Structure 1
């Protein structure tokens, strides 16, 4: 398991920090029963969760493109909530992004939920893939179904 947080500051207090450009969130809560759990067990309709999740991801990505002015080839990295290889490859195909721009960690860490986003950002920084001015798309989707997409300029 993991956790996620973001610290926001005024530009004058952190002039060289990465800049949060904005984000979009969409929901399809009519599918909230596709993944249910309690302390004893979790039940998931994985097939329908994938189908409806990808529909929502496509709608959210289109909304993010319009709201944030995204042109897919102008974004340098796509940092996604990584569930599995199948999920990642399906998302890449669904929204039409270059797989070379998606650094994966699920083989090493498994499904660590939204904690994959800061871990991937950290690894990209260590590898030197995040340069000043790099445009990074952050893409997350949850079983509720909820989907958020945002941009950070490094």
Structure 2
């Protein structure tokens, strides 16, 4: 990549305290722990408190990332929040977060690319820094999916959880940082994963509420087939753009949606499980937060060392997908 080398100089995460286990879900819908684990790999997920909004989750993750980077909010030039569960339609969650942090110098906006959102945001931030427009950009993937999950729908309520992951991007030394990005979308697949109510097409009304149109709708089998195909494709394309081979990968950081999808990606990339960060058993699918939270935990656990070659990859509603290669 041309221009100033850009990498992650600070990382942070936050997950709510409340844990919702598979056993608890057994009392809510017709399901059981064995079925959920065998189909998804998920054992529990975190649930935001009733008085917690997405900006609250993002705030804690941002604080940790800034501390990790050795920076203050005054050092930030831009804040990007990737989310499908903003605090409200407007102002943006990024503007709300800017105020919470006291980052008065920073521009701020939200980005909507569902589970691919964090990597979309990182790509945008990297370009701003690489061309010299900004020096430090805070990118956050944060979602409160429990607020839009239908806990009478056993096909979706077992999947989702809440959390936030944050990364501070900035200049890094030559030979390090992001080496390639891949972004993609297929709008024809939009109806497969959506919330139909609440927008300008179907404004909130008694009819949309009664029709449960403000909850996540997903055609699971079709999304699964898409994910299995696109995760491997995107990762391979990112490697090719970076001039890297599969055997150079030190760690894969995939979107944490389903263990079978992750295993398919490992097979496609000829990787063993020890070269993959997996935490969906504890958190489920946190949408835009999944990749940054997994990366933050990998760093915490000492699984990422200077010079390691990482591949980050995700997919989500839209339909969208994204991948990146990174030398830590």
TM-score range with shorter-chain normalisation?
0.7 to 0.9
Q: Is the 8 A contact 1:26 1:56 kept in 2?
A: no
Equivalent residue number for residue 247 of structure 2: 73
Using the alignment, how far apart are the partners of 1:73 and 1:98 within structure 2?
Answer: 11
- Is the contact between residue 253 and residue 277 of structure 2 (CA under 8 Å) also seen in structure 1? yes
Query: 1:102: how far off?
Result: 1.0
Which whole-Å CA distance do the structure 1 matches of 2:268 and 2:224 have between them? 11
Confirm or deny that 1:28 pairs with 2:200. no
Deviations 1:106-152 (A, max 9, x none): 11111112312222222222222111101111111112221111022
Kept in 1: contact 2:187–2:319 (CA 8 A): yes
Q: Which runs of 4+ in 1 moved over 6 A?
A: none
Distance in 1 between the 2:269 and 2:250 partners? 15
Partner of 1:60: 234
Instruction: Point out the structure with max Rg over C-alpha.
Output: 2
TM-score (norm 1): 0.83
- Answer whether contact 1:77 1:102 (CA < 8 A) is retained: yes
TM-aligned CA deviation for residue 10 of structure 1: 2.6
Q: How many residue pairs are counted as aligned between the two chains?
A: 150
Taking structure 1 as reference, are residues 34 and 85 closer, same or farther at Cα in structure 2, changes over 3 Å only?
same
The CA deviation at 1:6 is 3.7
1:40-119 counterparts in 2 under 5 A? Answer: 40-119=214-293
Residues 16-58 of structure 1, C-alpha deviations (whole Å, 9 max, x = no match): 9x62223111222221111121463222111111112222233
1:53-91 per-residue CA deviation (whole Å, 9 max, x = no partner) reads: 222233323321221122111010000110122332233
> What's the TM-score, normalizing by structure 2?
0.42
Q: Are residues 51 and 35 of structure 1, via their aligned partners in 2, closer, same or farther at CA, if it must alter by over 3 Å?
A: same
Matched residue SS, 2:311:
strand
State whether residues 79 and 102 of structure 1, in contact with CA within 8 Å, keep that contact through their aligned partners in structure 2. yes
Change (3 A) 1:127 1:150: same
Q: Please, which runs of 5 or more residues in structure 1 have no aligned partner?
A: none
